Structure 1
Amino acid sequence: MPRKPFALSLFWRTFFLLALLLAGGVFAWVQTLRALELEPRAVQAAQQIASLVNLSRAALRYSDNINRVTVMKAMTDQESVRLLPREPGDRYEPFEVDRFTRRIGQELRTKLGPDTLVASSVNGVPGLWVGLSIERDPYWLRAEATRVFTSAGGGTWFSWVSIAIIATGFGSVAIARLINRPLRELSFAASRIREGEFDSRLDENTLTSEIREVNRGFNRMARELAKVEEDRAVMLAGISHDLRTPLARLRLEAEMSVHDEEARRAMAMDIDQLDAIIDKFMDYARPGEVELVPVLLAKLIDREAAAIRDPSVIRITSRVAIDLMVMADDVELGRVFGNLFENARRYGRTTETGVAVVEVSYARTGPWVIVNVRDHGPGVPPEKLAQLTTPFYRGDAARTAATGAGLGLAIVEKALQRMGGSFELQNADSGGLVARLRLRRAA
Structure 2
Amino acid sequence: MGAGLSVHSRPEGERRGVNSRRRTPPSIFARTARILGLTLFLLTAVVMATSISLALFPMAKRSADDLAALLVLSARTWAELPPQTRPDFIQELQQEHDIRLAVEDKDLEPLQRHSLLVYLGLLEKALERRLDQDHVVVGRDQGNPDGVWIRLPSVEGPLYFGISDTRIGARPPLVFLIALAAILLFSLGAALIIARRITRPLERLSDATTAVGQGRRELLSVEGAEAREIQALIRNFNRMTREVGELLENRTTLLAGISHDLRTPLTRLRLGLEIHGDALEPDLRQLLQRNLEEMEQLLDQSLMLARGFDGKEPVVERELVGLLQTLAVQREAEWRQQHPDSPGRVRFEVDAAVGDGWLWELPEQACLRVLHNLIDNALRYGGGDVLLRLERRDGCPSIRVLDRGPGI
Shorter-chain TM band: 0.5 to 0.7
The SS at the match of 1:364 is strand
* 1:302-330 alpha-carbon deviations (Å, 9 max, x no partner): 33233233376554443435412334321
- Deviation of the 1:151 alpha carbon: 1.6
Going from structure 1 to structure 2, the CA distance change for 1:4 and 1:84 (only over 3 Å counts) comes to farther
User: Which residue identity does 2:300 align to in structure 1?
Assistant: D
C-alpha distance in 1 between matches for 2:285 and 2:252: 35
Q: 1:367 aligns with which of 395, 399, 406?
A: 395
Instruction: Verify: 1:380 aligned to 2:405, yes or no.
Output: yes
Which whole-Å CA distance do the structure 2 matches of 1:191 and 1:118 have between them? 80
Equivalent-residue separation in structure 2 for 1:147 and 1:26 (angstroms) = 28
**Per-residue displacement from partner, 1:245-270 (whole Å, max 9, x unpaired)?**
32223323332344336355443322
Give the structure 2 partner of residue 63 of structure 1.
Answer: 83
Structure 2 Cα separation of the partners of residues 148 and 349 of structure 1 = 96
In structure 2, distance between residues paired with 1:270 and 1:298: 33
SS in 1 for 2:83: coil
CA pair 80-282 structure 1, distance change in 2 beyond 3 A: farther
Counterpart check, 1:295 vs 2:318: yes
- Please tell me the residue identity of whatever aligns with 1:330: E
Q: Name the aligned partner's letter for residue 339 of structure 1.
A: N
Instruction: Rate the CA distance shift 1:370–1:181 in 2: closer, same or farther, 3 A.
Output: closer
Q: How does 1:44-59 map to 2 (within 5 A)?
A: 44-47=63-66
Question: 2-side partners of 1:102 and 1:318: how far apart?
Answer: 85
Counterpart CA distance in 2 for 1:203 and 1:185 is 11
Residue 292 (structure 2) aligned to one of 271, 291, 310: 271
* Partner of residue 39, structure 2: 21
Checking the alignment, whether the CA contact within 8 Å between 2:102 and 2:160 is kept in structure 1 is yes
Deviation at 1:179, TM superposition (A): 1.5
Q: Which amino acid aligns with 2:309?
A: P
Alpha carbons 1:119, 1:130 under 8 Å: kept: no
Q: Which amino acid aligns with 2:329?
A: A
Q: Match for 1:182 among 193, 196, 201?
A: 201
Q: Hey, what's the Cα distance between the residues in 2 that align with 1:106 and 1:318?
A: 90
CA deviations 1:34-54 (Å, max 9, x no partner) are 233334444555555555666
Give the TM-score taking structure 1 as reference length. Answer: 0.63
Read off the aligned partner of 2:292 and give its amino acid letter: I
Partner of 2:222: 203
**Gap change, CA 1:244 and 1:267, over 3 Å in 2:** same
Change (3 A) 1:189 1:81: farther
Amino acid at match of 1:278: L
Q: Does the aligned pair in 1 maintain the 2:37–2:188 contact within 8 Å? A: yes
* CA shift digits 1:369-414 (9 cap, x unpaired): 3444445xxx234xxx3x2xxxxxxxxxxxxxxxxxxxxxxxxxxx
Question: Any gaps of 5 or more consecutive residues in structure 1?
Answer: 86-98, 110-114, 351-355, 388-443
Q: Aligned partner of 2:373: which letter?
A: N
Separation in 2 of the partners of 1:275 and 1:81? 116
1:168 Cα offset (Å): 1.9
In 2, distance between residues paired with 1:341 and 1:3? Answer: 30
Decide which of 279, 295, 308 is 2:331's aligned counterpart: 308
| One-letter amino acid of the counterpart of residue 117, structure 1 | L
SS at match of 2:55: helix
More helix, by proportion: 2
Is contact 1:121-1:129 (8 Å) kept?
Answer: no
Q: Is the contact between residue 38 and residue 100 of structure 1 (CA under 8 Å) also seen in structure 2? A: no
Among the aligned pairs, what percent are the same residue? 23
Q: Do the aligned partners of residues 3 and 323 (structure 1) sit closer, same or farther apart at CA in structure 2, a change above 3 Å counting?
A: closer
286-295 vs 221-230, which deviates more? 286-295
Provide closer, same or farther for how the CA distance between residues 201 and 119 of structure 1 changes in structure 2, counting only shifts above 3 A.
farther
Which among 32, 45, 48 is matched to residue 30 of structure 1? 48
**What pairs with 1:226-305 in structure 2 (closer than 5 Å)?**
226-260=245-279, 262=282, 264-283=285-304, 286-287=308-309, 289=311, 291-305=314-328
Would the aligned equivalents of 1:202 and 1:215 in 2 still touch at CA under 8 Å?
A: yes
Aligned counterpart, 1:440: none
Structural mapping, 1:28-107, within 5 Å: 28-34=46-52, 35-47=54-66, 61-63=81-83
Partner of residue 162 from structure 1, selected from 177, 181, 192: 181
- Tell me which amino acid in the other structure corresponds to 1:149: I
Query: What is the distance in 2 between the residues matched to 1:20 and 1:367?
Result: 40
The amino acid across from 1:275 in the alignment is: E
When residues 360 and 162 of structure 1 are mapped into structure 2, their CA distance, relative to the original with a 3 A threshold, is: same
| Cα separation, 1, equivalents of 2:101 and 2:302 | 102
Find out whether 1:122 has 2:136 as its counterpart: yes
Partner of 2:372: 338
Q: Kindly indicate whether structure 1 or structure 2 has the higher relative contact order, using CA contacts under 8 Å at least 6 residues apart.
A: 2
Q: Pick closer, same or farther for the CA change 1:338–1:19 going to 2, 3 Å.
A: same
CA contact (8 A) 1:42 1:101 kept: no
Alignment partner of 1:369: what SS? strand
2:393 and 2:245 mapped to 1: Cα distance?
38
Mapped partners of 2:402, 2:215: distance in 1: 32
Instruction: Say which is worse superposed, 341-350 or 329-338, in terms of deviation.
Output: 341-350
Query: Which shifted more, 177-186 or 303-312?
Result: 303-312
Partner Cα separation in structure 1 for residue 138 and residue 71 of structure 2: 23
- What is the CA distance between 1:181 and its match in structure 2? 1.9
Number of aligned positions between the proteins: 348
> Which letter does structure 1 place at the counterpart of 2:395?
P
Deviates more, 1:362-371 or 1:38-47: 38-47
Letter in 2 for 1:179: I
In 1: Cα distance, 2:166 partner to 2:70 partner = 13
Query: How far apart are the structure 2 equivalents of 1:81 and 1:121?
Result: 20
Instruction: Give unpaired runs (5+ residues) of structure 2.
Output: 1-17, 106-117, 141-147
Query: Aligned equivalents of 1:213 and 1:374: distance in 2?
Result: 47
> 1:250 & 1:188 partners in 2: Cα distance?
50
